Structure 1
Amino acid sequence: MTLTGIFVPLITPFAADGAVALDVLARLGHEVLDDGAAGLVALGTTGEPASLTPAEQEAVVDVIAGVSRERGTPLLVGARMDLAARPGVTAALSLVPPFVRPGEAGVIAHFETLAGTVPLVIYHVPYRTGQDLTPATIRRLAAIPGVIGMKYATGSVDAGTVDLLGDLPDGFALLGGDDPVISPLLALGAPGGILASAHLETRSFAELASAWRAGDAERARALGNRLAGLSRALFAEPNPTVIKAVLHDHGRIPTAAVRLPLLQAAAGRLSGLTPGRAPTPR
């Protein structure tokens, strides 16, 4: 399977009593798919997986996998490799080993070992992991059987990015993972992105990807500039605190609660953000 389009890494909504609101999670999944998302991500960073119990993690994956099966759309699962083997899951979203900085040869060896278990989308986010990867190393990772893509979140679009996108193996999807710079990455040929910001204005993000694929640069530039501003506002405090506050303000989730070590976003962060989408009854 070649991954294309906009994937939404779903938040984990909490009810007033602090429990995971699984019915709301399912509704959110359907809403973003209704609005043009190509697929979903469960237990990505946006979903606060480290603050969930193992049972909660399993319940979240089961609910989102059910939505994905019903809709016939791909699903990536982060945090736990064992959950990526469940029915309805397309691939594991697997982080480059963080903190230890094993070197590029160590990263390659790590993913050569993992790739024999389930299909993998590698998550490359050097400003969190402390491990940089050259374009040559990413191409070596892309050539590993079972590696089908990468969430590419280096914080910028530079000469290395241009070099990389100019020569990638068939069947390997380099998906943008830095929301404010998704438009230039799509312009260079990335097939899509994994974007927390796409909880809001999902249709516009999907249209942005379609516009660049169609070569409609004028439309894409206008959309990209506006959506970059939205993304910067949504990431003004630690993710997903602002996104949750806006979703709650729009009536799409029951609370804006996050779990420690996160704290709820300041109320002033909601000013001027995009109007909400009315929840779709299901």
Structure 2
Amino acid sequence: MTLSGVLVPLITPFDAAGAVARDALEALANEVLDDGAAGLVALGTTAEPTSLNTVERHLVLDVLLGVCRERSAALLVGASTPDALAELRGRPGVTAAMSTVPPFVRPGEDGVVAHFAALAAASPVPLVVYHVPHRTGQHLSAGTLRRLAAVDGVVGVKYAAGLDADAVDLLADPPAGFALLGGDDVVISPLLALGAHGGILASAHFATARFVELVDAWHADDAGRGRALGHRLAPLSAAVFAEPNPVVVKAVLHAQGRIPTPAVRLPLLAAGPGSTREALRQVERVTPVAA
């Protein structure tokens, strides 16, 4: 089955003592699934995985595995090395691993294909390529993404390269069974208009149901509804990403009373009050008032 819909890359909430707030994490997972998300991402960039120790990473994964198994929801897990992938063995319920294109090394496109072929051959679960060139320094052409789609065990891509010519090319003739999931929240609507299957959207911690409506509108070829929702949601996404992810997400979740603290770990710093106010304003603007 091709991955589709809205997947929310969950933050890792911390309590007042600095520990992972397990109950808040479980509640967040259930909230976004209640609002129609198709699944979750554990230990993605939004979760601050490099700031978590091994015990904390296992805790986060166990909590979200439990929720997704109970809810029959998809679960992607950030895992980009053979060792990280090996840790997913024997964990039923993991739909796929989200594996980043090797950062900093810039191995070239042939090197990226060889890298993912080796990862996929050793992985206990399918792989979703995380293509985020502004972080990795490695561009991938539409042709290379088609080569990756042909690798046994590679089932999709989180496309966080904006709305560029390669996205247009790939979606004009998409590989069968290969999911293109938008990863740049501000441009998710035009990507869906071009044929993207869904999105991995940190913005969808908020107004989750509106993002689900956006995906459903474009999948139903309701361009009028899709454009209207896209224009409405893009300012929210821009506000959420006004500072390094996930600092604004956490600030707003804390202001809403959904997590115990807005704390992030170094090298991240807390969101500024101006960014938090603007993001809260945008959330309120797109969230229906309860009757």
- With structure 2 as the length reference, what TM-score do the two structures score? 0.93
Residues 12-49 of structure 1 deviation map (CA, whole Å, 9 limit, x = unaligned): 00001100001110110000000010000000000000
Match for residue 103 of structure 1?
Answer: 108
Contact 1:16/1:255 (8 A) holds in 2: yes
| Matches of 2:87 and 2:264, distance apart in 1 | 23
Residue type matched to 1:256 in 2?
Answer: P
Q: 1:94 aligns with which of 88, 99, 112?
A: 99
Match of 1:158 among 157, 160, 164: 164
How many residue pairs are counted as aligned between the two chains? Answer: 277
The counterpart of 1:82, out of the listed 79, 86, 92, is 86
Shift, 1:273, TM fit: 3.0
Long gaps (5+) in structure 1: 278-282
**Superposed CA offset, 1:63-82 (max 9, x none):** 00000000001100004323
Q: In the TM superposition, what whole-angstrom CA distance separates every residue of 1:106-148 from its partner, at most 9, and x where no partner exists?
A: 1000000111222100000011000001111100000111101
Q: Distance in 2 between matches of 1:266 and 1:106?
A: 40
How far apart are the structure 2 equivalents of 1:201 and 1:143?
A: 35
Matched position secondary structure for 1:208:
helix
The whole-number CA distance in structure 2 between the counterparts of 1:170 and 1:135 is 14
In 2: Cα distance, 1:103 partner to 1:168 partner: 22
Preserved CA contact (<8 Å) 1:76 1:84:
no
| CA–CA distance in structure 2, aligned partners of residues 72 and 16 of structure 1 | 32
Stretches of structure 2 that go unaligned for 5 or more consecutive residues are none
C-alpha deviation, 1:58, in angstroms: 0.6
- In the other structure, the counterpart of 1:274 is 283
1:216 Cα offset (Å): 1.0
Q: Which residue of 2 aligns with 1:280?
A: none
**TM alignment of 1:118-267, pairs within 5 A:** 118-154=125-161, 156-267=162-273
Secondary structure (helix, strand or coil) at the match of 2:7 reads strand
Distance in 2 (CA, whole Å) between partners of 1:114 and 1:161 is 24
Alignment RMSD = 1.4
* Residue identity matched to 1:73: A
1:162 CA drift (Å): 1.1
Q: Alpha-carbon deviation of 1:158?
A: 2.3
Q: TM-score, normalised by structure 1?
A: 0.96
SS in 1 for 2:186: helix
SS of alignment partner, residue 8 of structure 2: strand
Query: Which amino acid letter does the alignment assign opposite residue 189 of structure 1?
Result: G
Q: Residue in 1 aligned with 2:61?
A: 61
Tell me how far apart the structure 2 counterparts of residues 201 and 132 of structure 1 sit (CA, whole Å). 32
Distance in 1 of aligned mates of 2:165 and 2:136: 21
Alpha-carbon deviation of 1:227? Answer: 0.7
Deviation, 1:169, is 1.9
In structure 2, give the amino acid aligned to 1:158.
Answer: D
| In structure 2, C-alpha distance between the alignment counterparts of 1:152 and 1:260, rounded to whole Å | 27
Q: Is the 8 A contact 1:91 1:120 kept in 2?
A: yes
Q: Check conservation: 2:235, 2:282, Cα contact below 8 A.
A: no
Using the TM superposition, give the Cα deviation of residue 88 of structure 1 relative to its aligned residue in structure 2, in angstroms. Answer: 1.2
* Mapped pair 1:11 → 2:11: yes
Higher mean C-alpha displacement, 84-93 vs 2-11: 84-93
Question: Percent identity over the alignment?
Answer: 66
State the Cα distance separating 1:267 from its structure 2 match: 1.5
Secondary structure at the residue paired with 1:149?
Answer: strand
The alpha carbon displacement at 1:270 in A equals 2.4
CA distance, structure 2, for counterparts of residue 197 and residue 159 of structure 1:
24
8 Å contact 1:61–1:83 — kept in the other structure? no
Whole-Å Cα distance in 2 between the matches of residues 262 and 255 of structure 1? 15
Please report how far the alpha carbon of residue 229 of structure 1 lies from its aligned counterpart in structure 2 after TM superposition.
0.3
